[in-house]
Structure 1
Amino acid sequence: MRDSEKILDSWDAYSDEHTDLDGWPHDDHAYGLRASQRDADTVGAFEPLRYGARHLLATAETQLAQLPENTVQSRWVYQLGVLHAALDRLDELHEQWLVTRDALPATANPGTADFDDALAEHHAESWSYLDDWATHGKALREINTAAHKAPSALVNAPVRRTAAQK
């Protein structure tokens, strides 16, 4: 997620420098190429997290449910919802990419226009959902930190003495 945040920050700096005051690119072609690179980099940054993302969400939800109310940020429930929706859509887009890739001509390999254009389109469709993870993914760390700082239920449980200890 940190890599995605760096990619987004770099994109924002590029976009600010290469667009006019109304947000229109100075050079459409160069801007499009840079956006395509941003999309591919963001997909690459998310890929190591992708297969464990559902587990991370489930863990955060469990931790959140067990936190004392006074330690919970109200935005966390919303952010987890955004992350769930984004992951669902990313899974759908991945399945669509596999169908698209399998339908490409046998000569369409990485480095050919057919393959690279289809992959760039897939990355572009995925980008906003990956951006959701870059933007809201920090909630997972925040919830985990709060859970580790919260007093344990075992620590607060009343001590019961056995007859032998009395």
Structure 2
Amino acid sequence: MRDSKKILDAWDAYSDEHTDLDDWPHDDHAYGIRASQRDADTAEAFEPLRYGARHLLATAETQLAQLPENTVQGRWVYQLAALRDALDRLDELHEQWLETRDALPATAAPGAAAFDDALAEHHAESWSYLDDWATHGKALREINTASRKARSPLAPAPARSPARRAVARK
């Protein structure tokens, strides 16, 4: 998620420098190539997280449900929903990509125009959902941190020292 944030920040800097005041690119072709690279880099950065993402979401949802109300950030529910929706869509797009890839001619391998164009289209379709993960993924860490800091209702009360027990009896 941190890599995705860095990619997004670099894209924002590039876009600011290479567009006019109305956000129109100065060079459509160069801008398109850079956007395609952004999409591919973001997909690559998310790949190590992809297979554990559902588990992370489920853990965060469980933790959130158990947090004391006064420790919960109101945006966390929305952010988890956004992450879940994005992951559902990414899974659908991944299945579509596998079908597209399998339908390509045998000669279409990485480096061949047919393969690379289809992959670039897949990355472009996936980018906004990957961006959701880059934007809202920090909620997973925040919820985990809040959960670790919250005292468990099942945890025993801290033991009192003998001096404190004597004072408490008086």
**TM-score, with length taken from structure 1:** 0.93
SS in 2 for 1:84: helix
Provide the alpha-carbon RMSD of the alignment: 1.3
Give the greater-gyration-radius structure (CA).
2
C-alpha distance in 2 between matches for 1:65 and 1:10: 36
The alignment-based identity, stated in percent, is 86
C-alpha distance in 1 between matches for 2:77 and 2:3: 24
Matches within 5 A, 1:48-67: 48-67=48-67
1:46 pairs with 2:42: no
Unaligned runs of 5+ in 1: 160-166
Q: CA deviation at 1:99?
A: 0.4
Indicate the residue corresponding to 1:101 in structure 2: 101
Matches within 5 A, 1:122-133: 122-133=122-133
Indicate the residue corresponding to 1:20 in structure 2: 20
SS in 2 for 1:155: coil
Q: CA deviation at 1:156?
A: 5.6
Indicate the residue corresponding to 1:87 in structure 2: 87
Cα deviation digits, residues 79-103 of structure 1 (max 9, x gap): 0000000000000000000000000
C-alpha distance in 2 between matches for 1:81 and 1:66: 17
C-alpha distance in 2 between matches for 1:81 and 1:35: 27
What letter is aligned with 2:35?
A
Cα deviation digits, residues 77-134 of structure 1 (max 9, x gap): 0000000000000000000000000000111000010000000000000000000000
Indicate the residue corresponding to 1:164 in structure 2: none
C-alpha distance in 1 between matches for 2:98 and 2:154: 48
Q: CA deviation at 1:153?
A: 1.5
What letter is aligned with 1:43?
A
SS in 1 for 2:154: helix
Unaligned runs of 5+ in 2: 160-170
1:34 pairs with 2:11: no
Indicate the residue corresponding to 2:164 in structure 1: none
C-alpha distance in 2 between matches for 1:147 and 1:155: 13
SS in 1 for 2:85: helix
